[in-house]
Amino acid sequence: MKHIEIDDPGIGAHLEQIAEDGMDIFILYGSPSSGSLDEERDNAVRGAFLNATRLVNIMRSAHNLGILESLILGQAYIGALLMTRSLKGTGRLNLEVGCTGPVAGLSVEATASGDVRGYLKQVPIPVEAPLESFDASPFFGPGILTVQRFADNSDVPFTGNTDLYYGNIGQDIARYYLVSEQTRTSVLVSIKFDREGRIVGAGGLFIEALPGASDSFLEDIQNRISAMDSIGETLSEGTVNMKILESTFADYQLEPMEHRNVRFYCPCSRERFKSFIRSMKLDDLKEIARNGPFPLKTLCHNCNSGYSFSREEIQELLDSRDRDGQQES
């Protein structure tokens, strides 16, 4: 992956003044006023709060995105990272959307270590009139949301999917958990733009009901979430994750579980692409070696990094394939 610089000095100065990116995973217990200690422990939710302002800005710079494209892909990045809260070690998750609207679809991968990458299937997204709001639902249309979750040290995914219902990443992820995994959740994803169209705050909140939680407890949690100020705006003011949680759920017991660093990161490299080219069908590789075009240009969709290869390099790959074939025979 190429090194990405945020070329807007204005947003760079802003990012230096606000809290660092990161995801805080926590458990929230019912307040002592709810009853006995046992009852209090029964009333619990598990959650994650994410500040992703810097990584969403880097994502935007890497893919050279406009406002609408940054909003939709940035929300998908935030949603996918929040969904990794229960993964450990080498666990990872793929979030895919395929739809008939102008967005066409998107693909995002996030890992338990806090790395995220991915792309929109249509850039730029065609629009017929200037945006009147940050409601992206008209650009999705009917479609499918698919989740592939890989546990630590596993190459076999758990896969589930649901129809797109809202055209809102956060709401559709929450519906996925309810329909596909029978789990009650609340998912907020938020991106704040300033008047110049710069991303000044980006983050989200994930709340998952734990077994035994009462309906009244969950209803109160949901009411507090609904009453929250915009997460993106609050993060843009420099407020840290835990302060936002403590303010929102002041009457409850907040137990921090883990803090994770997060970043926009893709493990692609020139050597990886060279290996991919070498493993092509032999006839295809011979055709490229004869007719090019040169330099042969490749592109990583996940991070928009490009790698070029000369005629001499392609011929060298072909010669090495021939040598391997002779050794095998």
Q: Dump pLDDT digits (tens) for 282-320.
A: 999 999 999 999 999 999 999 999 999 999 999 999 998
Per-residue pLDDT tens for 120-151? Answer: 999 999 998 777 788 999 999 999 999 999 99
What is the CATH T-level fold of the domain 9-264, as seen in this structure?
Hsp33 domain (3.55.30)
Contact (Cβ atoms closer than 8 angstroms) between residue 80 and residue 108: yes
The model's confidence at residue 114, banded by pLDDT at 50, 70 and 90, is: very high
Q: Is the dihedral of CA 59, 97, 259, 45 positive or negative?
A: positive
Q: Which fold has domain 270-328?
A: CBS domain Like (3.90.1280)
Which has the closest alpha carbon to 107: 65, 69, 143, 76? 76
Contact 120, 106 (CB under 8 A): yes
pLDDT at 32: 46
**Which residue, among 177, 195, 159, has the nearest Cα to 83 in the 3D structure?**
177
Mean pLDDT of 187-215: 96
**For 185-197, what is the mean pLDDT?**
96
Joined together, the tokens standing for residue 24 give: 């805080």
Only one residue has tokens 């926590």, namely 26
Number of H helices, E strands in the chain: 11, 13
Q: Where are the domains of the chain?
A: 9-264, 270-328
Going by DSSP bridges, is the β-strand pair 22-29/185-193 parallel, antiparallel, or unpaired?
Answer: unpaired
pLDDT in tens, 210-265: 999 999 999 999 999 999 999 999 999 999 999 999 999 998 999 999 999 999 99
Nearest residue to 2 (alpha-carbon basis) of 220, 317, 269: 269
pLDDT at 18: 97
Is residue 38 scored above 60 in pLDDT?
no
Q: Which amino acid is at 211?
A: P
State pLDDT tens for residues 60-90. 999 999 999 999 999 999 999 999 999 999 9
Q: What are phi and psi of 286, to 5 degrees?
A: -65, -40
